[in-house]
Structure formats: structure tokens, C-alpha cells
Structure 1
Amino acid sequence: MKFGIHASIAGGIDQAVLRAAKLECGTLQIFSTNPRGWKSREISDDEVSKLQHNLVENNIAPLVIHTPYLLNLASPKEELYNKSITALKQGVKRADKLGAKYLVLHPGSHTGSGIEAGIKRIGAGLKQVISETKPEVMILLENVAGRGTSIGASFEELAKIISLVDDSKKLGICFDTCHGFAAGYDLRNKNEVDKILSQVDSIFGIDKLGVIHANDSKGAFDSNKDRHEHIGQGKIGLSGFRNLLNHPLLTDKTVILETPVNDEGNDKHNLATLRSLVN
């Protein structure tokens, strides 16, 4: 099992690796562009070279990239839908250029048009992106907390999306612990964790679970509230993470922190907490 953080790319993408290395991370997640904007600049060959050098020097792999928040492949608005497809295609190309193994994507929100219609749009969008980009990177659909009209709170919804894509070998899932807990997956109970991971294995195949986002939850169980908390300080608690991190199906998985960063030492403390829970 490898642990890492979501690191800032301020000062250059290669600098994110050095930030992760200072915390002795074995893996790393970044945004490859502005997460709250549509415009993305071209990544130079020099930037790629520096990034790859730093990754190898510090023995950090895999590289995980998170797509911008603005993308919504479930949108019934044609302009937003098309912009989202274009942005995802660009994101796939950047991820492949950087040598990332995984590209994490929030499925989207149907904004009142209906969940089945939204799922069909996401499936069609992914089919187009994969057909036109032929990605090396695996696109991971991240489970959501289930608030409002968002899609992907259940494994069944994620599976429906994937089933609509003919060439789905480059599709997988990312399991966010806070989102899952808020959507009704109870990590506090060891037997429930067994059931959850058995579901993942039977529905997708455990190899399709590329990344785990490790976040405690400020919100209560099954509350649909997406509010991340420091490990052990939320409603999931230390025992919940102990149940998850020591499960035999997860021994070789990539675990990324997305906990709050209010102070400089937050990531260091949360990483230490996670590592201490592994038997």
C-alpha cells in the first residue's frame, strides 16, 4: 500500500513531487491545470522531463491526476456538456504526456433532468473521449456523497456508466471514504467493510479500484454531506480507517489524502496517522 497527498503545482508541476517527497510519500495526486477554470496551457517537454526526473529520483509512483471541478458530463446543457468533453480529452492527453497512471473524474450532476438521462450522457461522453484519445491513463470515476442531483453515490450507478462504454478497459473507480460514508457505506463496521469490498470486487473487479481517497467525514453517516475531516477526527474514526487499510484486498492499493490543509503540518500528521493504523 502506498500513501500520498494531493500536492500543489505552484511554481511548476515538478515542484509538486518535491513537496510530496518531503513527506516521504510513495505516490502523489495533482491537478494538471487550474481546477476551477476551462483554459489550460500547454505542458512543455522540459516540464515533463523535470517531473519524470523528480518522480524517479524520489521513487514516487503512480502519479494520479484529478480533473478540474467544472467538468459535468451529465449536464443537459449542450454547451457545458461539449465543453466538458473537450476538457476531458485535453486532460487525458496531458495525463498521458505526464505519464500518469490514473485520471480521477467526478461523474457529474444531472441538474434535474433525471438520473438515467444523466448516466446515459456520461456514458456517451466517456465513449467519445476514449474513442478519440485512445488513452494510456486509466480514467477513474469517483464515488460522490449523493447530495442533490449528483451521480455516482452508489457502486451500481458507477457500474451503469461503465457498462455503456464499449471499450471500458481504461475505466475504473476511485473510492472516496468521506463520500462513501456520507452515501451509506459504513466503514466503522469491519463486517460492513468486508461487504463493501466484496461488492467492489464482484461488480468491477478489485483491480478496477485504482485509488482510495482517504478522508474522514465531518458529516454523519448517510448524511449525503461532502465535508472532509482530518483522519480520526471525524465520524468515520480511527477504527474505520483501520478496518479499511488492513483489508487483504487492498494491500497493494494507492491511497491519497484529501484532508483539510489549515496548517503546514496537517498533511504530515494525517499521513503519520494513516501509516500508524496499518498492522
Structure 2
Amino acid sequence: MKAIRPLLGSHLSISGGYHRAAAAASAYGMGTVQIFTKNNNQWKGKPLTDEECRQFRAALKTGDLHLPCAHNSYLINIASPSSELWDKSVDAMTVEVERAEALGLVGLVMHPGSHLDSGEEVGLQKVVEGLDEVHRRTKGATVKILVEATAGQGSNLGHRFEHLGTILKEVQDSDRLGICLDTCHIFAAGYPLKTRGEYDATFQEFDDRVGIDRIRAFHLNDSKKGLGSRVDRHEHIGEGEIGLEPFRWLLNDPRFAGLPMFLETKKEQRDGEEMDAVNLRLLTSLFEAPAKRKPPR
């Protein structure tokens, strides 16, 4: 029986066209890709054209790219206590879902947001209300919103597994949600990964508080800062505080076979080679054992 490997990819630029991101992913030998659906630093983007969507979908098929995802704009904050910002964020998130659906993406990663000193309980309730409203406005959409675990800088929510569990439990249409785990974020938030015992205990706690089957994607990043630093600083694979072995365990964990896993490390070159290629080659070399889980539908 052929082993089902995780789908390795990276977050790639849509400069010059969405199809160029898919073509670049294919050129790297990736199995998936993550993009922004528009300029990440603006609230609104130009409407998508049918031709843009057609070209992107065709490039995904040609490149044999599966389970592609997007990351929403960092401007969005549906945890905000400000009604003005909350309304604006819900509007923007609705458009993000619509754009992701039009592009044929399966997941839309979002940070839960910042409670801005209103308190975690209040902030989480605003997130739940916001997601319920986005779901109400986008009935029939198949793209899943993937709530991302965060490092916990400032008043950001999502740095505790129980935050994620609360959101999934309280949102009415929870089947339309999943989780994206970022290795840098959970490590910086205080969840240890460096020994096999720590790795197992961390994912057992996640299973207890959220449910391991709710994970729909990973961001693969080492961490520049130490365990529990609450600082979100990505490092190249095996060159940070997490180290190489936890990525080996993750890639060979049969519970995660077939899931998309995206690099979000710095875009730079080393000895004339793009670091995405270096990181991808290293991750591929870590894959060892046959996995038993079928790809998610």
C-alpha cells in the first residue's frame, strides 16, 4: 500500500496573478499552496474576474496541487470590542470567504483576533458572534474557516487550546470550521515539542481540549524565540528553538497524513538557492513511515 504523505507547500505571492502562485508551487515540487485572496494590507480588493478564477483553478490542476488554502487579511479582528471595527471585520471576512470559494480553495486560515483588553471571555464571544454572522451570509460555501493557534502576543486570542475549543464548541455551524496549527505559534505559546514525550503530551492536550480530528492544516515554522516566549518570530526549519526532530515526528504522524502543511518562513536565498526549496527538501527528507489515514474530504 502506497504511503499517504502530508501535502507540503508554502505561502506564495499572488503578484502577477493567482495562477503564478500555483505555477511557482508546482515548480518547487510542492503538493499544495497557500495564498492571500487579495492585497493583505488593504480592507478591500479588486473584484475577482471569471478569467482569474479559471486560470488559477487550471494551474492547480496542471500542477497537481491539492487542498489549497488562503490566509485572511491581518487587518481583520472579529474579537474587537469596537462595534465599528467588528462590523468592518465581519464584512471583510465575508468577502474573504466568497473570494476563497470562487478560487476553489478548501480552507481560509484566520487568526481569532485581539480582545484589546476587553478580556478573553468577551473577546471569544465576539469571535463566535462574528463567525456565526459570516456563516449566515455565506450559506452554501464549502470552504472551511480554519481558526489558527497563535503565539499570544499582546491581547491576541488563540494561544491556549481551550480558546480554540470554545470557538468550535460555541459556533452554531461548527462543521464549517477547522483548526490550523502553527508549530512556531504553539511552541511560543508554551506548548513543548522538543522531546517525543513533550510532543505526545502536547497533542494529547489538544485532543482533549479541541479534538485532533479538527486539525485541517499546519503551518510549519521553527521559532526564533524560546518556549513560552509569546513572541511570533518564524525561523527556517531546524534552525530555531524547536529543532529538527519534532518536524520528523509531525511528518510521520499517521493522524496527519494527507493534510496540507505550509511553510511560512522568510523568503530569502542561501548560496543562490531559495530557502523555500531548502526547507522543502529538508522536510521531504524527514518522511519515513507509511501513513494509514486517507486524505480528508
1:38 alignment partner in structure 2: 43
The offset of 1:90, in angstroms, is 0.2
The offset of 1:199, in angstroms, is 3.2
Matched, 1:24 2:50: no
Matched, 1:3 2:12: no
The offset of 1:128, in angstroms, is 0.6
1:246 alignment partner in structure 2: 252
The offset of 1:80, in angstroms, is 0.8
Stretch of structure 1 that moved more, 78-87 or 240-249: 240-249
Aligned equivalents of 2:239, 2:67: Cα separation in 1:
28
Aligned equivalents of 2:69, 2:28: Cα separation in 1:
17
Letter matched to residue 44 of structure 2: K
Aligned equivalents of 1:195, 1:117: Cα separation in 2:
29
1:57-81, CA deviations, whole angstroms, 9 ceiling, x for partnerless residues? 1100111010000000111111111
1:155-197, CA deviations, whole angstroms, 9 ceiling, x for partnerless residues? 1111112222111101110000000000111111112222222
Aligned equivalents of 1:103, 1:199: Cα separation in 2:
24
Q: Give yes or no for contact 1:143–1:155 (8 Å, CA) kept in 2.
A: yes
Q: Give yes or no for contact 1:177–1:216 (8 Å, CA) kept in 2.
A: yes
1:31-69, CA deviations, whole angstroms, 9 ceiling, x for partnerless residues? 011111101111111111111111111100111010000
Aligned equivalents of 1:167, 1:70: Cα separation in 2:
24
Aligned equivalents of 1:199, 1:33: Cα separation in 2:
35
The offset of 1:20, in angstroms, is 0.6
Which of 194, 207, 217 is residue 211 of structure 1 equivalent to? Answer: 217
Aligned to 1:146, what secondary structure does the other structure show? coil
Matched, 1:83 2:109: no
The offset of 1:266, in angstroms, is 0.8
Letter matched to residue 232 of structure 2: D
1:189 alignment partner in structure 2: 195
Aligned equivalents of 1:206, 1:112: Cα separation in 2:
30
TM-score (norm 1): 0.97
The offset of 1:206, in angstroms, is 3.0
1:92 alignment partner in structure 2: 97
Matched, 1:275 2:284: yes
1:266 alignment partner in structure 2: 275
Matched, 1:145 2:151: yes
Letter matched to residue 281 of structure 2: A
1:126-169, CA deviations, whole angstroms, 9 ceiling, x for partnerless residues? 01111121231010000000121000001111111222211110
Aligned equivalents of 1:202, 1:148: Cα separation in 2:
26
Aligned to 2:217, what secondary structure does the other structure show? strand
The offset of 1:218, in angstroms, is 0.2
Aligned to 1:37, what secondary structure does the other structure show? coil
The offset of 1:262, in angstroms, is 2.2
2:175 alignment partner in structure 1: 169
The offset of 1:115, in angstroms, is 0.7
Aligned equivalents of 1:253, 1:203: Cα separation in 2:
20
Residue-pair matches, total: 279
Gaps of 5+ in 1: none
Gaps of 5+ in 2: 1-5, 289-297
